[in-house]
Amino acid sequence: MTDDPRLTPLAASLPPTVPFVGPEELERRRGAPFRARLGANESVFGPSPRAVAAMAEAAAESWKYGDSTSHDLRMALAVHHGVPPDSIIVGEGIDGLLGTLVRLVVGPGTPVVTSRGAYPTFNYHVAGFGGALHAIPFTADHEDPERLVAKAREVDARLVYFSNPDNPMGTWHDTATIARMRDALPRGSLLILDEAYADFAPSEAIPPMTPDDTRVIRMRTFSKAYGLAGARVGYAIGPAPLIAAFERVRNHFGMTRVSQVGAQAALQDQDWLASVTAQVAEGRARLGRIASDLGLSSIPSAANFVAIDCGGDGALARAVLEELGERGVFVRMPGVSPLDRCIRVSCGTPADLDIVEETLGPALAAAAARR
């Protein structure tokens, strides 16, 4: 099949890309639902009941477009974080915000730096606008700030993507390390600090909010700890002039009324958030024990998942992932070596983790037998 001749040369040069094959598609392929859905780092604990009630009530007004400025949610977030409202932009998850930011900053050949194996959707956006992506390997299962800065200085990077805690390993750096990284970036570089997992992280991993710092834009989401992945609500905090620039290209009606109301109600229920983060901490500990009981190691995590080292290479981990899928357990794995020696398991309910405990040993044995 040939490309449509109406495509731009850039679009025609890109391969069809799906950053993640969703669990629904995998269920269609296997012809059965998963017993445990633990691959997408969703919160199986769900959103606050207050958020569910607010969204149910708002559903009756779905005939209306959502507020194009997400005003009430932005005001609530400003109070929550102690920052001016004009330093906050709301968008369709961090994915949508990354796409808008890249559209603002990246053109053909614009140098951009990230970590090899880090969140692939960012790379997808950069490729879509013709940017020149430079990827630095992880060091000891952590993103490497010093090497990222060195590459940024070498290529005069416009954007530097850094997640803390990171995905797919769940590791993190402290605030002093992040400050040194920010200070060492070349003039004109913008640090994208992806804090999707900030609600699970220790306080020493989260820098104070300084939205007037022109060197940093921070990304947060309601998809993880708040349990609203399906509502697609993310937000960015940064210097007001940069945030205002989003108005030039963003999708002004991308946020639904139901999503805005649900996120605001979720933000107001911090007791629910605390209960979820406590359950996630218990889940991380149990996944570590499950791995240890099988003679495996796990990577200490500050996110809502645990990377479990399968004790071999990427081929072995891939076989383990497939064997778990055959047993009804949906998990994912990092995409590059040496991170791909691991599988990545989201923290689930005790019943979910019972299934992991039941199936991981047989999956390991079956994977080993395939080699």
pLDDT tens per residue, the chain (371 residues)?
A: 567 889 999 999 998 887 788 899 999 999 999 999 999 999 999 999 999 999 999 999 999 999 999 999 999 999 999 999 999 999 999 999 999 999 999 999 999 999 999 999 999 999 999 999 999 999 999 999 999 999 999 999 999 999 999 999 999 999 999 999 999 999 999 999 999 999 999 999 999 999 999 999 999 999 999 999 999 999 999 999 999 999 999 999 999 999 999 999 999 999 999 999 999 999 999 999 999 999 999 999 999 999 999 999 999 999 999 999 999 999 999 999 999 999 999 999 999 999 999 999 999 999 999 87
Residue 246 lies in a domain: yes
Q: Which of 268, 293, 309 is the last residue of a domain?
A: 268
Tokens 């959103």 sit on residue:
47
Residue 158 lies in a domain: yes
Residue 64 lies in a domain: yes
Residue 12 lies in a domain: no
In DSSP terms, 344 is beta-bridged to: 307, 332
The token pair at 17 is: 């890309």
- The rounded Cα 234 to chain-centroid distance in angstroms is 11
Do both 234 and 284 map to the same domain?
no
Range of the domain at 283: 20-46+271-370
Do both 101 and 176 map to the same domain?
yes
pLDDT for position 241: 97
Do both 222 and 304 map to the same domain?
no
Element (H, E) at 330: strand 329-330
Do both 55 and 199 map to the same domain?
yes
pLDDT tens, residue by residue, 287-345: 999 999 999 999 999 999 999 999 999 999 999 999 999 999 999 999 999 999 999 99
Helix (H) and strand (E) counts in the chain = 13, 12
Do both 65 and 166 map to the same domain?
yes
Domain count, the chain: 2
Element (H, E) at 351: helix 350-370
3-state secondary structure at position 306 = strand
pLDDT for position 15: 87
Give phi and psi for 190, each to the nearest 5: -120, 125
Q: Where residue 42 sits, what CATH number does that domain have?
A: 3.90.1150.10
Do both 183 and 303 map to the same domain?
no
pLDDT for position 262: 98
Do both 207 and 69 map to the same domain?
yes
pLDDT tens, residue by residue, 212-261: 999 999 999 999 999 999 999 999 999 999 999 999 999 999 999 999 99
pLDDT for position 1: 52
Alpha-carbon torsion, ordered 359, 361, 366, 371, to 10 deg: 140
Do both 200 and 325 map to the same domain?
no
Q: Which of 268, 291, 320 is the last residue of a domain?
A: 268
Do both 103 and 117 map to the same domain?
yes
The token pair at 343 is: 């599988």
- The rounded Cα 353 to chain-centroid distance in angstroms is 22
> Is-above-0.75 flag for pTM?
yes
In DSSP terms, 139 is beta-bridged to: 142
Q: How many CB atoms are located within 10 Å of the residue 295 CB?
A: 9
Q: Which of 220, 249, 268 is the last residue of a domain?
A: 268
Do both 69 and 139 map to the same domain?
yes
CA gap 212, 222 in Å, rounded: 23
Do both 204 and 338 map to the same domain?
no
Q: Where residue 186 sits, what CATH number does that domain have?
A: 3.40.640.10
Do both 182 and 305 map to the same domain?
no
Residue 328 lies in a domain: yes
CA gap 139, 115 in Å, rounded: 10
Residue 14 lies in a domain: no
Instruction: State which amino acid sits at residue 6.
Output: R
How are beta strands 36-37 and 329-330 bridged, if at all? Answer: parallel
Alpha-carbon torsion, ordered 179, 99, 201, 268, to 10 deg: 120
CA gap 56, 11 in Å, rounded: 40
Tokens 């999708």 sit on residue:
251
